[in-house]
A and B are shown apart, each in its own frame.
Chain A
Amino acid sequence: GENVEQHPSTLSVQEGDSAVIKCTYSDSASNYFPWYKQELGKRPQLIIDIRSNVGEKKDQRIAVTLNKTAKHFSLHITETQPEDSAVYFCASEGYQKVTFGTGTKLQVIP
């Protein structure tokens, strides 16, 4: 089955700096790559996604890049703010199944 690896597991940045989270996947048939944000005690919620026919997608301060050849994708958050502090999960979808990475706990220090 699909295997999704996510790094780093924890990340601390100063407010205003950028944060980058990286994921790799194993199944070349995967074609949809969402990112979810989970605040403490809350449910995961989609923040951005990318499909395999696109290399990059941006939404205000967040962007995702995808390299299908290398089977890796990344989340970039610019101008980080304290409210960005949360756990971020990457995911890969193929054959109707979504497999999640192990999560990155992001702490933005004011």
Chain B
Amino acid sequence: DAGVIQSPRHEVTEMGQEVTLRCKPISGHNSLFWYRQTMMRGLELLIYFNNNVPIDDSGMPEDRFSAKMPNASFSTLKIQPSEPRDSAVYFCASSPLAGRGELFFGEGSRLTVL
């Protein structure tokens, strides 16, 4: 298995633009997590899904952020409109089952909002 695949690896955009980050979890994993990493706040859980269903989105900063998982092999995190304070590395991670152990992280998407 290729592991968790994220795209794009790097994104530079201007304030106000829409940003879409994509994630393909490891095949057979039932749980998918979106994390945001910054120097100031560390690794923050934004949202996670079990069997494609959003379970907890309490970490989503505000209405500008939305996430979907239309099927077991694909998820998106969208920011609209983007702001400079959204600049961070966004990690997607998958797990065989939430609450049962190791998270497998993707390489991350580094977002810079000018």
Are A and B physically bound partners? yes
Q: Are B33 and A43 in contact (CB under 8 A)?
A: no
Main secondary structure of the interface of B (DSSP, over half): strand
**Main secondary structure on chain A at its contact with chain B?**
strand
Question: Given A43-B105, A43-B108, A44-B91, are A99 and B45 neighbors across the interface (CB < 8 Å)?
Answer: yes
Closest 10 CB pairs between A and B?
A: A96-B98, A96-B99, A43-B105, A100-B43, A102-B42, A46-B102, A44-B105, A43-B107, A103-B42, A43-B108
Q: How far is the CA of A102 from the CA of B106 in the complex (A)?
A: 19
The residues of A that contact B91 with a CB separation of less than 8 Å are 43-44
- A-B pair number, CB within 8 angstroms: 48
CA distance A101 to B58 in the complex (A): 18
Size category of the binding interface on chain A: 20 to 34
A-B contact list, 6 entries, CB within 8 Å: A34-B101, A43-B105, A43-B106, A43-B107, A100-B45, A103-B43
Q: Inside 8 A of B107's CB, which chain A residues have their CB?
A: 42-43
Query: Once the chains are docked, how many angstroms separate the CA of A58 from the CA of B67?
Result: 38
Which residues from chain A contact B102 at a C-beta distance below 8 Å?
34, 46, 49
Residues in chain B within 8 A of chain A (CB atoms): 31, 33, 42-43, 45, 48, 50, 55-56, 58, 91, 98-99, 101-103, 105-108
Interface centre among A32, A34, A100 (most CB of B within 10 A): A100
Instruction: Say if the beta carbon of A89 comes within 8 Å of chain B.
Output: yes
CB of A13 within 8 Å of the partner chain: no
**Interface pair A98/B45, CB less than 8 Å apart:** yes
- A42 contacts which chain B residues (CB < 8 A)? 107
- Shortest CB–CB separation between residue B33 and chain A, in angstroms? 7
| Cβ contact within 8 Å between B45 and A32 | no
